[in-house]
Chain A
Amino acid sequence: MVVFVVGIFGYMSLFTAFSHDVSASMKLLHGFPPTVRALLGIRIGSFFTILGFFGYMLTYLWLIGGIQAMNLGTGILSKEISGKTADFLLSKPISRFKVLTSKLAAALTIIIATNIIFVTASYISAEAFKTKDFNINVFLLSCLTMLFIQLFFLGVGFLVSILVPKIKSVLAYSLPIVFGFFIIGMLDSLIGAENARYLTPFKYFDVGYIAIHTAYEWRFLLTETAVVVICLVVSYLVYTRKDIQAPA
């Protein structure tokens, strides 16, 4: 988490240098082929505002946040199986529904704490390195996208932890899944197909749209909500009827 915060400050501190000589920086960015700019998510028009500059970093913070949430979702239940402690827990007078809900609450607490730290660090760094005032609502909405991305991967991780019988390494599942969605997002930036945005949470939130409308795109917010709800409902249904195999 300390590295995460230091990273945000380190990156945002570069804004002063970029905005100091806009024409030279623009020249540098124009030097990249349009395909590379699209792949990296660089929008020259907004890159030299603090919100645009922050928005560029946000894509990569989503990736880190996604991995953290996926690790939490995948690990929090599968650890009871891989650590062979499921028998201990489930032979106690507690329903599986309660076990799952407690685990989910614990994961949510960690995610909310992460987001509080993230929003605070981002806001302080934006205030520290801004060259002009910025729209606080747009900034907060941009920051909150991290929470939605994390909820998406928490839901997916939860489902994976219940559907996969034995998870020896959480990272073996979380990294390919999160990077898979991320690469789909990068390819989508190249293709530019609107409907392809439904395929990956990394395309549900467009910082440019948020800057113009000070709002999220409802269709993607609903898609995200549907995915999370389906993952959780299926997780509860499967887990409450699942056989817990004897530790071997």
Chain B
Amino acid sequence: MKIIETKKLTKYYGKSLGIKNVDLVVEQGEIFGFIGPNGAGKSTTIRTLLGLIYPTSGSATIFGKDILKFGSEIKEEIGYLPSEVFYYDNMKVIDLLKYSGSFYKKDSKLITKRIKELASYLDLDLKKKIDDLSYGNKKKVGIIQGLLHEPKLIILDEPTGGLDPLMQQRFFDLLREENKKGVTILFSSHILNEVQKLCDRVAIIKDGKIIKVEKISNLAENTHKRFRLETAVKVDKSRFTGIKGITDLVITDNSINFLFRGRINEITKIIASLNLTNILVEEPDLEEIFMHYYV
């Protein structure tokens, strides 16, 4: 069953393009990644799906219902966590979360129980005032307000900013648990690694247009790594030229710098034969990948 379906969804802000002809299908039970550089159109797509902004043309359905006609009904089963969280600063966390829960038709006792469970799991003090919380703790409030009504679809727009690595891990575990219960997740991010850890399929968006939709397993095979090597002696360029998967090769004196896409084992064999003094293997940023692969 298609949980989200967009058809030629287009949004212009005046004359400037937000998204153009976005066609997306997210199936039930999927964790669907939505990835692209900042300003690519991820948030525009999500905000359109949530009815926060209106499409210029095209259409979208969630749970098979038109987002414009059935917005309120659809949102009963959606949990949303934006990248930046802002709440009513003078409220206590528990009051804000109960207020958030009051919008849903679910039993208030069940919602309060769920709030307490999630707060305990995420280690959040419910008695504090919103204004007194750190950014990371406000993000936890955001996670709870997005999950407290046990939605069938969770939409996350760059959700991990402000969460420390441990909390990110807990958050991902929480999402996996929800997914096991059949919940569909749309996870937007500009960090490839995050999406790879969590998602089944991924759509890549750039300049407002979807440029690729593929399984994460395919993407993993095609993942680039940036290698930065330092050697004890100068290495001849010929040792790296002609090797499949190497691009952007720069060799200067004792340092070698390149992007690699392919089987890691093959490249490590070559690297092992060098007299290394240092090695760095990094995730290239998305812009680099787009520059070398998708454009």
Contact = CB atoms under 8 A, between A and B. Distances in A.
Interface in A77-97: 83-88, 90-95
B43 interface: yes
Given A88-B145, A93-B76, A243 B52 contact: yes
Interface string A201-225: 0000000000000000000000000
B217 interface: no
B86 A87 contact: yes
A247 interface: yes
B257 interface: no
B161 interface: no
A36 interface: no
A159 B226 CA distance: 55
B72 A94 contact: yes
B50 interface: yes
B132 to A, nearest CB: 16
A60 B72 CA distance: 44
Interface residues of B, number: 26
Interface string B237-264: 0000000000000000000000000000
Interface string B104-138: 10000000000000000000000000000000000
A237 interface: no
Nearest to B13: A243
A247 B51 contact: no
B236 interface: no
A244 interface: yes
B43 A246 contact: yes
A27 interface: no
A132 interface: no
B51 A85 contact: no
Contacts of A85: 86-88
Contacts of B47: 244, 246
A91 B75 contact: yes
Given A83-B88, A95-B72, A247-B86, A88 B52 contact: no
Nearest to B86: A84
Interface string A113-129: 00000000000000000
B196 interface: no
A244 B71 contact: no
A98 to B, nearest CB: 8
User: Which of B43, B73, B75: most chain A Cβ within 10 A?
Assistant: B75
Interface of B: 13, 43, 47, 50-54, 71-76, 78, 80, 82, 84, 86-89, 100, 103-104, 145
5 contacts: A88-B86, A88-B87, A245-B53, A246-B47, A246-B52
